[in-house]
Structure 1
Amino acid sequence: MTEQPVPAPGMFTLVLHTHLPWLAHHGRWPVGEEWLYQSWAAAYLPLLRVLQTLAAEDRSHLVTLGMTPVVTAQLDDPYCLTGMHHWLANWELRGREAATRRSGADTGYTEPEALRAFGIREQAEARLALEDFEVSWRHGASPLLRGLIDTETIELLGGPLSHPFQPLLNPRLREFALREGLADAHARFAHTPRGIWAPECAYAPGMENGYAAAGVTHFMVDGPSLHGDTSLGRPVSGTDVIAFGRDLRVSYRVWSPKSGYPGHAAYRDFHTYDHVTGLKPARVTGRNVPSQDKAPYDPERADQAIDAHVADFVEVVRRRLVSESERIGRPAHVVAAFDTELFGHWWYEGPVWLERVLRALPEAGVPVGTLSDAIDGGFIGAPVDLPPSSWGSGKDWQVWSGDRVADLVALNTEVVDTALATVDKALAQAAVGSAWSPRDAVADQILRETLLTVSSDWPFMVSKDTAAEYARYRAHLHAHATREIADALAAGRREHAERLADGWNRADGLFGALDARRFPR
């Protein structure tokens, strides 16, 4: 008889944050739709496959999954679904090309025999993804996610439309974005999230009041926001809204700015390409090994590393639960939180690691539950006043408000002021002499473009110098659209404003239910 492990005190929660900016119709390569399709194929498809597999085994309350409205909009969008289908078919063709390669010269990778073996595996993986997509994803992600929500396999976290950096946002636009984001989730999943992943884990004092008014009961912050004491959720500033903090000691074991499992020598290298096919056929090999000297990827070697890292993580979580419970004198709660895209897109082996760790934790006596389970289980401590914070560099707002992005901060302020003044005037005129006003597509599009302008992604990409030129282009493009429509309306050229709004809507027609009439007056 197998000896049962001694149960660990408290509870562990895994939180995943799924987000990309709106990329459809805004370029393909090197930044644009390719980013969406790569993440979809490498992270979203396998993650849902893992969750469905575990759900079929009657496992529930496994993951707290944040899905931002801008991601679900793309995963449900007919244009994006068609583009993804084409991308998967092209992936299979690239695998076939690698499988029949006779030479590795001038490709950036010089192991032709290893490349052919890799291509055979890659072609088979692409074919599996195609079959999965054609059978299960015909109507987008929402039906799949709703099934996981209904069976309580996951808890869904929502968020505001377009993922704005909320502390710097006009309060009325902040309220509107959050309420519309929650409504968008309800429309897609027949479920309104109780919790949210605040964009960038950003917080400013007083935001908890807006959360409470919108029906939000809990949200995520980074560990330093709670001064490193993340052992329990905390009510914020006299409200019933709970802040849960990411345990950095546990989360950074998997991935941190300096280290983590994905950097292991056996795992697939993210940066080494076969330049002909665009595939990644090498393993990490070593931190300072140049790409041309990387060893071929070895699935068996990687599989052994996955098992080792599953065992390591389970032990880290177990030790943390024991030590934190002893420190606070009651069962503790440990939260590990990551970007979903880490698992598959950045770390190829991540989805397999996730499936194994979600099996291994309960087998090792570690209770696993969601953030809502933590509230229901009483893992709540004393009230706290949170400082202004985020999960960005320095754990403050500098990534989104620093000198490098001062121009974008000024742009956002100007565009929001223009948009709000124009929308207020349009709604006031429509309501004159009537208790009811028709929907205004022009005002809707002004707000839609404004929200795209203030997406937190653009200053993040500029501050981190990752496709900064693309980010500035996107911010200014949406700002231009907002101004152009607003100027035409302000000049009394209503028909021209309608034509402009219709034209911009063809490119940025996400959030079709957005209704300016619900904007706070």
Structure 2
Amino acid sequence: MKPIGAFSLVLHSHLPYVLSHGKWPHGMDWLNEAAAETYLPLLKTFNDLVAEGHSPKVTIGISPVLCEQLSDPVFKQDFKSYLAMKIESAKIDRTAFEKVGDDKMIRLADDWIIFYQQIHDDFFQKYDTDILGAFRKLQDDGQLEIITCAATHGYLPLLYEDAAINAQVKQAVVSYERFFERKPQGIWLPECAYRPYHHDWKSPLGEDTPRTRFGVEEFLDKHGLRFFYVDSHMIEGGKALGVYLERFEALKKYYEQFDGSYTNLKDEFKRNPYQGYMVKSRDQFEGQIYCFIRDPKTSLQVWSGEHGYPGDGQYLDFHKKHYPGGHRYWRVTSAQADLGQKELYQPDNIYGRLEENSSHFKNMVKQILQHEGQDAEGLPIICSPFDTELFGHWWFEGPRWIYKTLKLLAKDPEIKLMTGSEYLNQVDTYRVVSLPEGSWGEGGYHHIWFNEDNQWSWELIYAAEKKMLEAARMWSKHSDPRVQEALKQLARELLLLESSDWQFLISTVAARDYAETRIVGHHLDFTRVYELIEKLVNGEEPDAEAWQHYQDVCTRDTLFPNIDPSWWEGYDLPEEK
């Protein structure tokens, strides 16, 4: 039977660099939680599907900075201690529940002991502590596709220098080749944020002479990438779907402030979100780069806290925790229930909900392909992109839902599971489109990442970008090896400073103090490393305190061993034809 269309589950995995930058509540435990609750359970999901003869065909992005952390011995050792703590705390909970004779809570504590012991065994025995290697094997076997992301999740449209965007993408490709032993085909643009070609771009900080800027697609094409993803409003116009508003109350003020700033596109032809498009924002660009469109219907069905599957009253509640171990023993109950009204989690009630939700999703996919999808040119494709951490961390049952859903989809001969590259290799005709500037954030623009609360961070980033370009142009070929090594560390600190996580955390207020500390800290480290280099090239010897600070920074921020400062020497536009 000929398929009526394709479905592509797209997962974006990312955490900022937290190694040696705090532990709890902000820092290393973010990484430990994601590994235990999301990455390892998803590996089990994918391998179980493969063992049963069903290829998941998921497209999963793993950001370069996350790759660096998952492969670092510091993480592996800390993760061992973290798992031991979670198992021991569940045992302590069990003992406490035994004393009061609460059999239901005892069972739930036992479930946590079993869960974390299984995670421990998978990590240390099945995967030999190599999470990336386990994903790489699935890719090498043709079961899924791994795509990359900007090096430290820099918010590309707002970076001041084209050379800074170039370096974020170049480091992404180089890191991918190091970890996955092949070239990446696709990339997840941080926050799905895109900017077209501008001949009169001005800094959002104001007081800037207009200048020419590349479209983001040109950087991707330059480094051999073939495709990326955008939100549906970027292709259809209108309001952005948004992905964070329901999870972060603090974002509502930005949404209300900028509501109405969405784009209405000209109808040169009907743009269907269920097909791929070739992207071109100026006539002189001769490359081939494609975009896939986020489907709003299937995305809302999973993302929405109010209407989506994770909000089902039977599923494990994310917010209510039992301390000191932090284990969760309660269910969502209802969208209106406060923490005191949460009822006890009942695992036996989950199976039916998962069956119903996965069947509902599969039927939704089929209905879309049968109706809206048939207006697409070529094979219609539904792309459903999500933050990977939604599955398992935010929604505990998420990996099991993915297992059941992909299994149902794989067994339907009218639906073809496909990765991004597979679709591009099969479909050979594409419409060419120009995209507006925007993101998948609330309001569809940059407001979460540039507003009155975090504007000051961009002043520091822009100043550092300019200094990095100067340093690369003046000293990248300096004969002193100490200068060369210091330039590499300077580049690392700039990339860490550029992480879009800091602005996001400030806007959500979720970890505002931590984010502000990281911004100020990386800017200070960048400045002091720059000053040390200046002394060296001027024939002066930095004092002992300066050397000690430099060594401390190098010991703490060890990511990207193959970084090259010459990437920042400059990035010139080709002559316009």
Structure 1-normalised TM-score?
A: 0.92
- Equivalent in 68, 74, 82 of residue 79 of structure 1: 74
1:407 equivalent in structure 2? 456
SS at match of 2:61: strand
* Aligned 1:240-279 pairs, distance under 5 A: 240-256=288-304, 258-279=306-327
Helix, strand or coil at the partner of 1:253: helix
Q: Is the 8 A contact 2:468 2:568 kept in 1?
A: no
2:514 maps to which residue?
470
Which residue type is aligned with residue 216 of structure 1? L
Q: Which residue of 2 aligns with 1:485?
A: 529
Determine whether 1:324 maps to 2:368. no
Q: Which whole-Å CA distance do the structure 2 matches of 1:275 and 1:438 have between them?
A: 49
8 A Cα contact 1:23 1:36, kept in partner: yes
Q: SS of the counterpart of 1:138?
A: coil
User: Structure 1 residues 370-379 or 456-465, which shifts more?
Assistant: 370-379
Matched, 1:303 2:351: yes
- d(CA) in 1 for partners of 2:483, 2:566: 7
Match of 1:191 in 2: 182
User: Which residue of the other structure, out of 191, 200, 209, is the alignment partner of 2:191?
Assistant: 200
Aligned with 1:220: secondary structure? strand
AA in 1 matched with 2:177 = H
Shift of 1:164: 0.3
How far apart, CA to CA, are the structure 2 residues paired with 1:409 and 1:257?
32
* TM-fit CA distance, 1:520: 3.7
- What is the Cα deviation at residue 257 of structure 1? 6.1
Q: Which residue in 2 is equivalent to 1:360? A: 408
Q: Which whole-Å deviations, capped at 9, do the CAs of 1:353-408 have from their partners, x for residues lacking one?
A: 11111110122332111111111121753110000111111111111122221111
Q: Runs of 5+ in structure 1 lacking a partner?
A: 1-5, 106-110, 432-436
Counterpart for residue 125 of structure 1: 115
Is 2:378–2:427's contact at 8 Å kept on the other side of the alignment? Answer: no
CA contact (8 A) 2:193 2:230 kept: yes
Instruction: Please provide the CA RMSD for this pair.
Output: 2.1
CA distance in 1: counterparts of 2:169 and 2:547, whole angstroms: 26
Partner secondary structure for residue 481 of structure 1: helix
Q: Is the 8 A contact 2:123 2:131 kept in 1?
A: no
1:292 matched residue in structure 2: 340
Which runs of 5 or more structure 2 residues have no equivalent in the other structure? 197-214, 238-271, 571-577
Whether 1:512 aligns to 2:570 is: no
> 2:483·2:533 contact (CA, 8 Å) conserved in 1?
no
Query: Could you tell me which of 299, 318, 335 is aligned with 2:383?
Result: 335
State the partner residue of 2:130.
Answer: 140
Q: Distance in 1 between matches of 2:541 and 2:434?
A: 48
TM-aligned CA deviation for residue 425 of structure 1: 2.1
Q: State the 1:329 CA deviation.
A: 6.3
Per the alignment, residue 162 of structure 1 pairs with 152
Instruction: Work out the number of aligned pairs and report it.
Output: 506
Residue 43 (structure 1) aligns with: 38
Q: Which residue of 2 aligns with 1:108?
A: none
Q: Which amino acid aligns with 1:122?
A: W
Q: Percent identity?
A: 28
Q: CA deviation at 1:256?
A: 2.8
Give 1:12 shift: 0.7
Distance 2:295 2:126 in 1: 35
Instruction: Label 1:86 to 1:244 Cα distance change in 2 as closer, same or farther (>3 A).
Output: same
Secondary structure, aligned partner of 1:292: helix
Shift of 1:494: 5.3
Name the stretch that deviates more: 48-57 or 95-104: 95-104
TM-score with structure 2 length normalisation?
0.84
2:328 paired residue among 268, 275, 280: 280
Q: CA deviation at 1:161?
A: 1.1
Q: 1:221-240 counterparts in 2 under 5 A? A: 221-227=230-236, 229-237=272-280, 239-240=287-288
1:440 Cα deviation from its structure 2 partner:
1.3
Distance verdict in 2 for CA 1:306–1:378, change over 3 Å: same
Residue number in structure 2 paired with 1:179: 170
- Per-residue CA deviation, residues 90-120 of structure 1 (Å, 9 max, x unaligned), is 1111111122214899xxxxx9443222101
Query: Does the 8 Å contact 1:332/1:379 carry over to 2?
Result: no
Is the alpha carbon distance of 1:438 and 1:273 closer, same or farther for their aligned partners in structure 2, counting shifts above 3 Å?
closer
Choose which of 112, 115, 125 in structure 1 pairs with 2:105.
115
Look up the SS of the partner of 2:15 in the other structure: coil
SS at match of 1:357: helix
Task: Compute the displacement of 1:49 (Å).
Answer: 1.4
